Amino acid sequence: MERTNKLLTRNIRRGSFVTLFYGVLDAISGRFTFANAGHNKPYVRRADGTLEMLMLGGLVLGFIGTQKYGQDSVVLNPGDTLFVFSDGVTEAMNAQHDQFEEERLEELLKSIGDVSADEYVQTVHTAVKEHAGSHPQNDDITMLVVKRSN
């Protein structure tokens, strides 16, 4: 990540930046190792319904060329769900300019239950669309869901 950051810092248009979240999942052990450069912090919904935010953060790429980035890891146990998303989810606005926001997302993620990864995405997408109504969105809504099976 540091090499990419240095390259971007030298070559990106002034005032521009890139957010990045990456992870590597060991499908045998369930260990998910990740790094974050200014991206929304993902969530892990445990099989028992508890929600954990993956707290590791970092500065966006392309801003400070000498920035260091760390890694962290978490074990996804059978029945756990990883939810990675873009800010278009939490920043989706309705006609009153109220954002969907993290609090609403957290409550929704806690309530979803034991469903497939596809149903998980559809549930969040439907809630965001219902919140926004006919108000146009200015950002992408991107989600990645990984559910560890039993």
66-113: per-residue pLDDT in tens? Answer: 999 999 999 999 999 999 999 999 999 999 999 999 999 999 999 998
Spatial contact of 46 and 25, defined as CB atoms under 8 Å apart: no
User: What DSSP state is assigned to residue 24?
Assistant: E
Q: Which positions ≥6 away from 120 have C-beta within 8 Å? A: 81, 83, 112, 145, 147
Task: Determine the Cα–Cα distance for residues 101 and 33; give it in Å rounded to an integer.
Answer: 26
DSSP assignment of 25-36 equals E-TTT-EEEEEE
Amino acid residing at 146 = V
Q: Which positions ≥6 away from 102 have C-beta within 8 Å? A: 90
Confidence label for 137 from pLDDT (cuts 50, 70 and 90)? confident
Confidence label for 146 from pLDDT (cuts 50, 70 and 90)? very high
Spatial contact of 29 and 76, defined as CB atoms under 8 Å apart: no
Query: Taking the model in full, what pTM does it have?
Result: 0.91
**SS3 label, residue 145:** strand
User: Is pLDDT above 80 for 150?
Assistant: no
Identify the pLDDT of residue 42: 97
User: Is pLDDT above 90 for 15?
Assistant: no
Domains along the chain with CATH numbers = 2-147 (3.60.40.10)
What are 24-58's pLDDT values in tens digits?
A: 999 999 999 999 999 999 999 999 999 999 998 88
Identify the pLDDT of residue 103: 96
Task: Determine the Cα–Cα distance for residues 46 and 66; give it in Å rounded to an integer.
Answer: 36
